[in-house]
Amino acid sequence: MTSPLLPWPEIQQALIDQNLTVISDRGQLDKLSLDYFHFSPILDRQLRDKRGNLVVRPKTEAEVIIVAQTCVNYRIPLTVRGAGTGNYGQCIPLDGGIILDLSQLNQILDLKPGVARVESGVKMGNIDKKSQPMGWELRMAPSTYRTATMGGFIGGGSVGMGSVNYGLISDRGNVQGLRIVTLEDTPQIIELRGDDTQAVIHAYGTNGIITQLQIPLAPVYPWAELIVTFDHFSQSVNFGQALSESSGIVKKQVAVHAAPMSQYFTALKDYLSPQKACALLMVSEYDLEAVKALIQEYSGEITYLKNTEEATKSYNLLEFNWNHTTLLARSIDPSLTYLQVFYWTVENVEKLYQYFGDEVIIHLEFIRVNGKVIPAGLPLVRFTTEERLNEIIAYHRNQGTGIANPHVYTIEEGGSGQINPEQLAFKKQVDPYGLMNPGKMKAWSI
């Protein structure tokens, strides 16, 4: 669906006349209108035909302002795009319009110990390449960090590698500042600091165009990567919880996969067994002795161990976790889909594991929530019908788990289910005509 009634040739020429890069090629529009929404069979049906009318690729904040003014003048829907690595249609335009591709707004503006100020289109992996020689790195990152943009992660993501230490991106302190362009009659530049950034974080680009970000960094450690197998799933889950809670062991990634998952990790087949659960870990080399003792305590077996130097020449275990797990599994069995679950307790994990069996293949990512380490995860689901998928979601919720539903495209339904009054009030201020990613903030339509 596009917005056919607007004078698109006139709009396109006006933007070109101001030296902006404008893309109207149908093949490129098809590519740049979509993300990984097809992980969900529900979203695949709802979003597969959505397209923008034009893609505009600014290189400077001044060019962003030109696009913002154009959208206000013509009342054009505007959807902001980073790298398009999201999974539930965050950057898919529901009403056509202009797609603002910020991938060329990609400069690292300032880098010093403990903090980085960057443009929103910079790739997260490029930040680490520049900061790690200084002894610092990103606090957290998705499994797509090589291609994902910093602005896209802040606007559409929530957790990732490093969340076992630093929690969610929305936790106080994880974003120090944002610079945004508004879609008022005369677009403004607003600098948000501290808690004020909450109005824009994980808002799917509905309430301001992020052009710059200031983020804190974490100290770099030499990260060892390990695969540990366990005869019993309960051993792996309890080990994951114990390692994540071990204050004296520095870790970056703790993931646990039930036994059936190993069939989808074909590149790791020499280190896995179809009958065994496994843990994929990133821990400090300095703490390997303590990690090995903990592994022995839970009857695990190390089948793969690489130090930092070796790991850079081999597999990156991050790219077998988070939603890369889903990607790899679907490359073998496209009928698979997934959920996003906050299990809260090990007991909930084991109860749901026993109840669903192989219909729901558990994949855990241990993260910190409100100061406490919990098992969360992205379990695979053998999809049959939408009705059955909803039954599975309802059963999880009835058992006391939290579900961030990846089969819906609105902010509220994909999160707590509640309207965020702060985000709604800010949208009314900075996007009075409701042009930014229309349809994604349910509260705006109520």
Same domain, residue pair 309 and 388: yes
In this structure, is residue 439 part of a structural domain?
no
Into how many domains does the chain fold? Answer: 3
> What integer pLDDT is reported at residue 97 of this predicted model?
98
Q: Which of 236, 198, 269 is nearest to 362 (CA)?
A: 236
In this structure, is residue 345 part of a structural domain?
yes
- Residue 266 tokens read as 């074909």
| Alpha carbons 380 and 378: distance in angstroms, whole number | 7
pTM of the model: 0.95
Instruction: Work out the percent of the chain whose per-residue pLDDT is above 90.
Output: 96
In this structure, is residue 181 part of a structural domain?
yes
Indicate the helix (H) or strand (E) that contains 253: strand 251-257
- Alpha-carbon Rg for the chain, nearest whole angstrom, is 22
Same domain, residue pair 251 and 390: yes
In this structure, is residue 427 part of a structural domain?
no
Interacting residues of 27 by C-beta distance below 8 A, sequence separation 6+: none
Mean pLDDT of 429-434: 98
Q: Is the pLDDT of residue 436 over 90?
A: yes
Let me know: does 435 contact 427? Beta carbons within 8 Å.
no
In this structure, is residue 1 part of a structural domain?
no
In this structure, is residue 352 part of a structural domain?
yes
Indicate the helix (H) or strand (E) that contains 265: none
pLDDT in tens, 127-154: 999 999 999 999 999 999 999 999 999 9
| Alpha carbons 27 and 237: distance in angstroms, whole number | 45
> What integer pLDDT is reported at residue 339 of this predicted model?
98
> What integer pLDDT is reported at residue 5 of this predicted model?
85
Same domain, residue pair 230 and 339: yes
Interacting residues of 340 by C-beta distance below 8 A, sequence separation 6+: 376, 377, 378, 403, 404, 405, 406
> What integer pLDDT is reported at residue 446 of this predicted model?
66
Last residue of a domain, one of 70, 101, 132: 101
In this structure, is residue 413 part of a structural domain?
no
Q: Is the pLDDT of residue 20 over 90?
A: yes
> What integer pLDDT is reported at residue 392 of this predicted model?
99
Let me know: does 145 contact 318? Beta carbons within 8 Å.
yes
> What integer pLDDT is reported at residue 313 of this predicted model?
84
Indicate the helix (H) or strand (E) that contains 60: none
Last residue of a domain, one of 52, 76, 101: 101
**In residues, how long is the chain?**
446
Same domain, residue pair 211 and 254: no
> What integer pLDDT is reported at residue 391 of this predicted model?
98
The domain of 43 spans 8-101
> What integer pLDDT is reported at residue 2 of this predicted model?
59
